[in-house]
Amino acid sequence: MSFPAVRKAFLAKPKKMRGWIFLAGLVITTLLAALYIYKPEFFHFLDYKIYDTFLRSAGPAQGGRLPTNPVIVDIDEKSLARFGQWPWPRYRLGLLLDKIREMGASSIGMDMFFPEADRTSLGAVQDDIAREFRIRIDLQGIPQDLMDNDKALGDVLSRGPFVLGYKFLFPDDKNVSGDCLLHPVQAVIMGETATADVSAGLYRATGATCSIRILASSAPSSGFFNVIQDTDGVLRRAPLLIEYNNRQYPSLALATLLETLGTGRLILAADSHGLNGIVLDGTTIPVDSKGNMLIRFSAGSRTFPHISAGDILLGKVSPEQIRGKIVFLGTSATGIEKYQTTPVATALPGVDIHATIVDNILKKEFISRPYWTGGLELLLLLVCGAVSSFLLGGMRAILSLLIIVAGGAGLWLGSGWLLQAQGIFISPLFPLIALGANFSLLSFLKYRQEERTVKARNRDLGVIQNFTILCLAALTETRDSETGEHILRCQHYVKILAEQLATNPKYTRILNEETIDLLYRSASLHDIGKVGISDKVLLKPSSLTDDEYSEMKKHTLYGREAIQRAERIYGENVKDTFLRLGKDMAYYHHERWDGSGYPEGLKGEDIPFFGRIMAIADVYDALICKRRYKPSFTHDEAVSIIAENGGTQFDPTVVEAFLEVEKEFKKVARQYPDADASVK
């Protein structure tokens, strides 16, 4: 295609704006807007997947950078292999925690809790053996502080910046709540909304499962480790605060960070829409009204340094790896750790999630969904719907497609950039659906409209075409008025015969609906060549002489030549139209199956198929009609003659089809009789 042609295709304007297309687009957009407001779960699922895609492709945020990163002390497979199965005696945990404290950790969050007394304490073991076996083990000489592992662990907890974990319970939980000693935060409201309004939006716990009192009372702080999975089972957010007994309690990550900062106070930022942020040491952490923080995960499951707990107990870890760090104690050992599916990892240990939350806060790398994002997404949906409707109604399809694709790409890239650079997630889902739905559905409507227009135009052309054919055929009738309705009857005969032959598997593909229609229309041209025969021969009332018969046979040649001239004028455009079929029927309808016919004396299947069909239609009508040179035959006599000549004059397969529908031939002959004839 030349450049001018391409330019014309892209830039040429349509003749008129299709207003109904624009209105249809607005209707589709309105329906999508209603769907956005209702938003079935499937669309939430798609939103989640888009968010995950952006998060996986985003690099580190460009916000503040503090050198402090959390460190994870991992009770891993190597630790269990060296020091025995889990749970460890609590004195050993005390030794581990004391070593971490001595190495200079700024705070230590424990992703675990101890709801029952340690049954491995020497005092407890002594009592169990005495009760079960009535044997008293002599423990004289053993220091008293080694008799109770819980007391030993409690002493360690009281000396350092430790944060115990616990789990809140909700109405659907089946676990039993214990008598828990928890550590709430002091929350100060900053903004228009009253405290009660802010608290109303938070998750409300009905109970808690926590460590025994001797440990809970020894630790300076504690925090819950509940996290929230979305409906597709993926963890993307976590609550930083939960309401319990009219007080606010921090998550393990937030409590550990508060312990590092040496404060128990928070500022809750709120407006008329409820809670929207938690201010900590001058940093505003964006949260939703429920207190959820979107977690900015980094690719991979080992974002933070993991130090084996066994190596710390064996003194193999340099204090420099711990000093000044926020430490989370947890486990990744198989069977004792619950893994979470996140947007960037299919199995991330829970302790890494707490560390990620702290890391996001320290580096100010946040992702937020401000209250106005829903309104902006709806506005983008309406704009994209209206613009795409306008483009599809007033521009050519190729140009409007390119603009819509460019707009869709801009939405996708813009949303990704906004998440990366500003930490704000604006979902492009519904604006993209508006673009795609409008293009698909409106293009379909335009196609249907164009299809109807083309069909109407083709019908008009068909009428003109049939009129032209009948005018040509009428020239023959004016020369030989005795033929009467012969042309019209032959058209119907050919159609009936072709429809019957179409049931034969051999001809099913040849005789489709379009071809049969073309046969019907072109059948009227089969005797067009008679216009070239002289009146002396054509209108002779008696039998023809040999010379006259030779001239009469030339009507097949004249008919073919007339149609060939039309084909030469219009070239390849008519090679598969009614002219080709009319040419075959005009030229070959007097050929005989046994090779004794004219004009070329073809034999068997060398005779073009459509000529073989026309042969039976023409002969049947000639037999039942009275002519100057012969009387008329009855229908039954004509059928008998054609049947007897199957395999000699006619194609036997076509004769078989004729015998199946011969009664239909009779109906046509009665429906369109000559003026002075009746079919018997």
Query: Which of 38-52, 162-176, 195-209, 307-321 has the weakest average pLDDT?
Result: 195-209
Per residue in 35-45, pLDDT (tens digit) is 999 888 899 99
Q: What is the mean pLDDT of residues 563-586?
A: 70
From 100, 257, 282, 78, select the one nearest 185 (Cα to Cα): 257
Q: Are 580 and 602 in contact (CB under 8 A)?
A: no
pLDDT exceeding 90 applies to what percent of the chain? 47
Cβ atoms 415, 427 nearer than 8 A: yes
Q: Tally the C-alpha atoms within 13 A of residue 258's C-alpha that lie toward its C-beta.
A: 27
> What is the identity of the amino acid at 125?
V
**For residue 197, what pLDDT is reported?**
64
Average pLDDT over all residues of the chain: 84
pLDDT confidence bin for 47, thresholds 50/70/90? very high
Residue 374 has pLDDT above 70, yes or no: yes
Tens digit of each residue's pLDDT (9 = 90 or more) over 158-167: 998 999 999 9
- Structural contact between residues 500 and 660, judged by C-beta atoms closer than 8 angstroms: yes
Kind of pairing between the strands at 71-75 and 306-308: parallel
d(CA 294, CA 579): 73
For residues 72 and 354, give the distance between their C-alpha atoms in angstroms, rounded to a whole number. 10
Element (H, E) at 465: helix 429-479
Q: Residue 328 forms beta bridges with which residues?
A: 72, 109
Q: Which of 87-91, 159-163, 578-582 has the lowest mean pLDDT?
A: 578-582
Strand partners, 71: 327
> Mean pLDDT over residues 612-628, rounded?
88
Poorest-pLDDT segment among 118-122, 325-329, 365-369, 429-433: 118-122
Q: Read off the amino acid at residue 597.
A: G
Instruction: Express each pLDDT in 138-152 by its tens digit.
Output: 677 677 677 889 999
C-alpha distances in angstroms, 244 versus 109, 263, 341? 21, 20, 27
Choice among 301-315, 422-436, 542-556 with the minimum mean pLDDT: 542-556
What is the average per-residue pLDDT within 591-608?
93
Q: Give the E-state strand segments of 16-147 in sequence order.
A: 71-75, 107-110
- Higher-pLDDT residue of 558 and 569 is 558
Query: Which whole-number Å values give the CA distances from 680 to 635, 663, 673, in the listed order?
Result: 6, 12, 11
Residue 178 · residue 169 · CB < 8 Å: no
Q: Give the count of beta carbons closer than 10 Å to the beta carbon of residue 375.
A: 10
3-state class of 458 per DSSP? Answer: helix
Q: Which residues pair with 109 in a beta bridge?
A: 163, 328
Q: What does the pLDDT read at residue 236? A: 94
Of the listed ranges 456-465, 491-500, 520-529, 562-571, the one predicted with least confidence = 456-465
Distance from C-alpha of 22 to C-alpha of 321, rounded to nearest angstrom = 65
For the cut 90, the answer to whether the pLDDT of residue 60 exceeds it is: no
Of 482, 582, 400, the C-alpha closest to 10 is 400
DSSP state of 424: B
516 vs 193 pLDDT, higher one: 516
